[in-house]
Amino acid sequence: MHYLDHAATTPIPRAVADRMYEVLTGQFGNPSAQYPLGRQAATLTEECRSTVAAAIGCKGDSLVFTSCGTESNNWAIRSALWHGRHTGKHIITTAVEHSAVLEPLKALAQEGYEVTYLKPDSRGNITAGQVFDALRDDTALVSVMLVNNETGCVFPVEEIARGLRQRKSRALLHCDAVQGFLKVPCAPNPWGVDLMSFSAHKVGGPKGIGALYVNPSLRNLRPLLFGGGQERGLRSGTEATAQIAGFAKAVELRRENLSEKLAHVDAIKACCLEKLLTIPGMEAVSDGAAPHILCMSLPGYPSANIVTDLGEQGICISAGSACHKGKASHVITAMGLPKRTAAGVIRISFGPETTEADIDALYEALKAHQANRFPML
Ligand code: PLP
């Protein structure tokens, strides 16, 4: 198999699975329980919290575990608006956020909030200036992702945070950093971001565990889940200790020689780009700076067919969220690409495990696909 879909999810290293198994079978206590097995689970949770938090340069008490990136985004958005309820009902976001941001905002629009969607340019980029131009006195929330999951574009979150401060805006800043974590610089505390979302399964951890960074200056954040008061009352529900341990182990492993790993991924991306561009008609759709995502198009060859055809040969790539039932994704649509280009968009995404042999297999399969199919007009 040639797995080239690391932006969708990542393989789990053996050490992560082993660590989870140890916790599942041997350290299975409930962290709220008052006997040693429970206290051991509570200690484990706090150690893991510190490990994950250290990867974004903050203390454990700024990080709350959630069930996934989607929950973190939903919670961040709802709680920021509750916090800013006296500021107003205006929200600024981008038209290219993940559906885990766009869908909760759609629901909020039905509840009377007004949402401004910033459009990207034709390469998928957004500028901080667009955010500042849209800012109003009643803006309660700005939500901008760190790395776009389809194009790999890195958005200027630090500059946005600085600009909001300079303008003395009362809006809270949320950032969906699910695709940026351990791929590009990410430092919510010094940047002055209020809320930042993470997910383990994009960095070699298990699915079903995420985290939300909460700036220590934010007091009385309103929970999304109410109940037994776990996570200092911020997120009720018995802690998923095995998932948490897997998250921490994955982060620990990923951080070992991280710059070498990222340089490798970057080199693989450059090699893949160069090689695929030799295929007649192939285009680079974006120049996204994230090292792990490459967004290309083979105009005239619908991406759904490419993905299925390659999948049958054991080559896993994605049409992104890029092609839902034959329709171009909201990201590609927002970029305003010509129809044939939009229909042919594929996302190839890499990890530390990716080799040149994977790229060679992809290249050969794409050439064969082109040779064996008639192009769409
Ligand atoms: N945000 C972005 C940018 C993503 O790419 C994803 C996952 O694809 C999510 C949020 C959702 O994360 P999770 O799968 O942990 O809910």
Average pLDDT score over residue span 67-89? 98
Ligand 1 mean position, distance from CA 202 (Å): 8
* Residue whose token pair is 């919290």: 49
Ligand 1 mean position, distance from CA 98 (Å): 7
Q: Which atom of ligand 1 is closest in space to residue 210's alpha carbon?
A: 15
Q: Which atom of ligand 1 is closest in space to residue 147's alpha carbon?
A: 3
> What's the pLDDT at 376?
81
* Residue whose token pair is 């401004």: 116
> What's the pLDDT at 287?
87
Q: Which of 75, 149, 243, 318 to mutate to test the pocket of ligand 1 (most atoms within 8 A of CB)?
A: 149
Measured from the Cβ of residue 34, the count of other Cβ atoms closer than 10 Å reads 8
CA separation for the pair 336, 99 (Å, rounded): 19
154-166: pLDDT as tens digits: 999 999 999 999 9
Ligand 1, atom 5: closest residue by C-alpha: 149
> What's the pLDDT at 374?
84
Q: Which atom of ligand 1 is closest in space to residue 207's alpha carbon?
A: 15
Q: Give residues (CB < 6 A) around ligand 1.
A: 68-70, 98, 100, 145, 149, 176, 178-179, 199, 210
Contact criterion met (CB below 8 Å) for 172 and 196: no
Model confidence at 219, pLDDT cuts 50, 70, 90, reads confident
Q: Which atom of ligand 1 is closest in space to residue 68's alpha carbon?
A: 15
304-332: pLDDT as tens digits: 999 999 999 999 999 954 445 567 799 99
Q: What is the CATH number of domain 2-10+257-372?
A: 3.90.1150.10
Model confidence at 220, pLDDT cuts 50, 70, 90, reads confident
Known catalytic residue at 48: no
Q: Which of 183, 199, 209 to mutate to test the pocket of ligand 1 (most atoms within 8 A of CB)?
A: 199
> What's the pLDDT at 162?
98
Ligand 1, atom 9: closest residue by C-alpha: 69
pLDDT > 90 in the chain, percent: 95
Model confidence at 6, pLDDT cuts 50, 70, 90, reads very high
Mean per-residue pLDDT over the chain, rounded:
96
pTM over 0.75: yes
CATH class of the structural domain 14-255: alpha beta
> What's the pLDDT at 324?
56
Average pLDDT score over residue span 252-279? 98
Of 213, 215, 237, 240, the C-alpha closest to 224 is: 237
Ligand 1 mean position, distance from CA 330 (Å): 15
Of 160, 157, 108, the C-alpha closest to 134 is: 160
Domain ranges across the chain: 2-10+257-372, 14-255
Q: How large is the angle between the packed helices 69-83 and 99-110, nearest 10 degrees?
A: 40
CA separation for the pair 307, 377 (Å, rounded): 19
CA separation for the pair 6, 181 (Å, rounded): 13
